[in-house]
Amino acid sequence: MAQEIERKYLVLDDSFKREAFSKSHIQQGYICSERGRTVRIRIRDTRAYITIKGPSLNGGLSRYEFEQEIPLDDAQQLMQLCEPGIIDKTRWLVKSDRHTFEVDEFHGDNDGLVMAEVELENEQDRPKIPHFIGKEVTGDRRYYNSQLRQRPFKTWAD
């Protein structure tokens, strides 16, 4: 069983951009975004994927994940079947010791939100935290992409 184990953080500033070794544009929609199960379509530059995720475990630290690359044309058609609200973001990859932090800079209705995720080998894995990382938000459902689609960052009270 494929298990995704990750921690999620808010980002303090844009200094990560100078340290990034990769950048890509991502659009994703949700065919299903019910609590405990999501089916996502993602277009990342010119490649596309379908992802199925199970419920979060251990305070949001881990969950089942299945991901398969699909033809771009199929993904574009499947995006038409998605629930309202598309996530639009730029993903920057930043190396920190033996881990890679995926920093997502959101656009559109989530403009102003910048988060970083780091995938872990196991739940005890402790990555070296880069200087641009702020508060940990692992397990805070407001920061799940599927939730940001339904309740965008721009609607949050300060």
What does R_g of the chain's alpha carbons equal in angstroms? 15
Tell me whether residue 19 is exposed, middle or buried, using C-beta atoms within 10 angstroms of its C-beta: 0 to 12, 13 to 18, 19 or more.
Answer: middle
| CB-CB contact of 48 with 74 (8 Å) | yes
| CB-CB contact of 131 with 116 (8 Å) | no
Q: Which of 30, 49, 143, 144 is catalytic?
A: 30
Q: Is 49 a catalytic residue?
A: no
Residues with a catalytic annotation lie at 30
